[in-house]
Chain A
Amino acid sequence: MHLNRRSRIALRLAMALGLAVLYVPLLVVLLNSFNASRSFAWPPTGFSLRWWQAAWQEPGLRTALWTSVRAGLGATAVALVLGTMAAFAATRYRFFGRQAVSFLLILPIALPGIVTGIALNAAFRTVLTPLGIGFGLFTVIVGHATFCIVVVFNNVSARLRRLPGSGEDASADLGAHTFQTFWYITLPAVRGALFAGALLAFALSFDEIVVTTFTAGPGTQTLPLWIFDNLARPNQGPVVDVVASALIVLSALPVWLAHRMSAP
Chain B
Amino acid sequence: MPGQMRTVASTITNENGFYLVSGVSSARRMLGIYVVMTVTLSGVSKKFGAVRAVDGVDLEIRSGEFFSMLGPSGSGKTTVLRLIAGFEEPTTGTVQLAGRDVTRLPPFDRDVNTVFQDYALFPHLSVRQNVEYGLRVKRVAKAERISRAEQALATVHLEGFANRSPAALSGGQRQRVALARALVNRPSVLLLDEPLGALDLKLRLEMQSELKQIQREARITFVFVTHDQDEALTMSDRVAVFNAGRIEQVGTPAEVYERPATPFVAGFVGTSNLVEGETAAKILGSHGSYSVRPEKIRILPPGTAARGDEVAAPGRIADVVYAGAQTRFLVDLEAGGRLTALRQNRDEDGDEALRHRGAGVVLAWRRTHTVELTQAN
- Residues in chain A within 8 A of chain B (CB atoms): 164, 166-167, 169-177, 180, 184-185, 188-189
Contacts and interface: CB of A to CB of B under 8 A. Distances in A.
Given A174-B181, A174-B185, A169 B134 contact: no
Contact of B107 (A164, A166, A172): A172
Nearest to A172: B107
Contact of A169 (B87, B121, B137): B87
Nearest to B110: A173
Contact of B118 (A164, A172, A184): A164
Given A166-B116, A173-B114, A180-B137, A185 B108 contact: no
Tell me which of A166, A167, A174, A185 has the highest count of chain B C-beta atoms within 10 A of its own C-beta.
A174
B107 A189 contact: no
B137 A170 contact: no
Contacts of A177: 108, 137
B133 interface: yes
Given A176-B137, A180-B137, A185-B122, A169 B116 contact: yes
Contacts of B85: 169, 173
Interface of B: 85-87, 106-108, 112-114, 116, 118, 120-124, 133-134, 136-138, 181-182, 185
A95 to B, nearest CB: 15
A180 B138 CA distance: 10
Contact of B120 (A164, A176, A184, A188): A164
Contacts of B120: 164, 166-167, 169-170
Contact of A176 (B108, B121, B123, B124): B108
Contact of B106 (A167, A170, A172, A185): A172
A173 B85 CA distance: 7
B106 to A, nearest CB: 7
Contacts of B124: 188-189
Contacts of B86: 172-173
A175 B116 contact: no
Contacts of A174: 108, 113, 133-134, 137, 181-182, 185
Nearest to B85: A173
Contacts of A170: 114, 116, 120-122, 181
Contacts of A188: 124
A74 to B, nearest CB: 30
Given A174-B113, A176-B137, 16 more contacts: A164-B118, A166-B116, A167-B122, A169-B107, A169-B116, A170-B114, A170-B116, A171-B133, A172-B87, A173-B85, A173-B182, A174-B133, A175-B134, A176-B108, A184-B137, A185-B122
29 contacts: A164-B118, A164-B120, A166-B116, A166-B120, A167-B122, A169-B85, A169-B87, A169-B120, A170-B114, A171-B122, A171-B137, A172-B86, A172-B87, A172-B106, A173-B87, A173-B108, A173-B112, A173-B114, A174-B108, A174-B113, A174-B133, A174-B137, A174-B181, A174-B182, A175-B137, A176-B133, A177-B108, A177-B137, A188-B124
Nearest to A188: B124
Kindly list the 8 A-B residue pairs having the minimum CB-CB distance in the complex, ordered from nearest: A174-B134, A166-B120, A170-B120, A176-B137, A172-B107, A188-B124, A173-B114, A173-B107
B113 A173 contact: yes
Contacts of B116: 166, 169-170
Contacts of B114: 169-170, 173
A172 B110 CA distance: 10
Tell me which of A177, A184, A188 has the highest count of chain B C-beta atoms within 10 A of its own C-beta.
A184
Contacts of B134: 174-175
A75 B111 CA distance: 45
Contacts of A173: 85-87, 107-108, 112-114, 182
Contacts of A176: 108, 133, 137
A189 B118 CA distance: 17
Contacts of B123: 189
Contacts of B118: 164, 166
B122 A172 contact: no
Contacts of B133: 171, 174, 176, 184
A87 B151 CA distance: 40
A176 B134 CA distance: 7
A93 to B, nearest CB: 15
Contacts of B121: 170
